[in-house]
Structure 1
Amino acid sequence: MQITAFKQEHLKTDVPVLKPGFVVRVHQKIKDISAEGKEKERIQIFEGQVIATKGGKGINGTVMVRKIASGVGVERIFPIHSPNIEKIEVVKATPARKAKLYYTRQGGEVKVRE
């Protein structure tokens, strides 16, 4: 009983609908330590295409985002309800035809619904 209460209080209510094919911008809190030993917090933005979602909107829900940085593909998995995630905003909402877009790793083209 206590575990479900613990889970419910940590769920975020402002999570947008995320589907494969959407272009999203994830704002994540990053803690840096300076040369003097002081801890500094900043927001890092990761913008890319959603290639997979797992766990839905539940406490274990994650979203995998892929972008191309300097000609190299970069993928990150973000837990949706993590306290380090400031917000997730949808830049372009065009869902793909498939549920998982892993084929984009080999340079495949994404077919989107119009």
Structure 2
Amino acid sequence: MDKKTIEFNKNLRSNKKIDFKAGDVVEVYLKIKEGGKERVQIFKGLVLAVKGKQSSSPTLTVRKVSHEVGVEMIIPILSKNVEKIKLIKQAKVRRAKLYYIRELTTKQSRMKYKEIKEFIKEEDTQKNTEEKQNDTEKIEEKEEGKK
């Protein structure tokens, strides 16, 4: 490829990591413009496939069942309309693509999930350590005041 296309692809790429795989349950926060207003819509579903992890335009195929009707969305991960993608659960699956789930009933498509705790940002951990230090200092001051 010529330098222009390589440079263009580098500029498109962001620092978002693609830590999703087939079998994960995710919440996708999509920005939607209606008239003059903008709102965020949440689409929660099962990841059937992740395509193009190494390319400049990776996509997720997410499926959910709403009122007994299957709804699928192909979501470009690096799109400006995707505010964030939150991982809810991870399932133990043995396939990279779960397209066979389309033919299964809701009851048949149940999987064994392991719950994911909220992801703690580094800032939160730093705040917690600072709070613990402040608490220990206060306790030490109280003990010195009693003596």
Give the shorter-chain TM-score range.
Answer: 0.7 to 0.9
Specify the alignment match of 2:27 in structure 1: 25
Work out whether residues 50 and 65 of structure 1, in 8 Å CA contact, stay in contact via their aligned partners in 2: yes
Greater fraction helix: 2
Q: Aligned partners of 1:60 and 1:95: how far apart in 2?
A: 26
The runs of 5 or more residues in structure 1 that have no matched partner are 34-38
Specify the alignment match of 2:99 in structure 1: 102
Q: Aligned partners of 2:18 and 2:41: how far apart in 1?
A: 19
CA deviation string 1:62-81 (max 9, x = no partner): 11000011111000000111
Q: 2:75 aligns with which of 68, 75, 78?
A: 78
Q: Aligned partners of 1:16 and 1:54: how far apart in 2?
A: 10
Q: Aligned partners of 2:9 and 2:30: how far apart in 1?
A: 21
C-alpha spacing 1:110/1:52, structure 2 compared with 1 (3 Å): farther
Work out whether residues 96 and 113 of structure 1, in 8 Å CA contact, stay in contact via their aligned partners in 2: no
Q: 2:39 aligns with which of 42, 63, 66?
A: 42
Superposition RMSD in Å: 1.9
Instruction: Say whether residues 1:88 and 2:90 are aligned partners.
Output: no
The runs of 5 or more residues in structure 2 that have no matched partner are 115-147
Query: Cα offset for 1:7?
Result: 1.9
Q: Aligned partners of 2:15 and 2:92: how far apart in 1?
A: 22
Greater fraction strand: 1
C-alpha spacing 1:57/1:90, structure 2 compared with 1 (3 Å): farther
Query: Cα offset for 1:59?
Result: 1.2
Q: TM-score, normalised by structure 1?
A: 0.84
The AA in structure 1 aligned to 2:80 is: P
Work out whether residues 22 and 97 of structure 2, in 8 Å CA contact, stay in contact via their aligned partners in 1: yes
Bigger RCO (CA 8 Å, 6+ sep): 1
Percent identical residues: 40
Work out whether residues 51 and 101 of structure 1, in 8 Å CA contact, stay in contact via their aligned partners in 2: yes
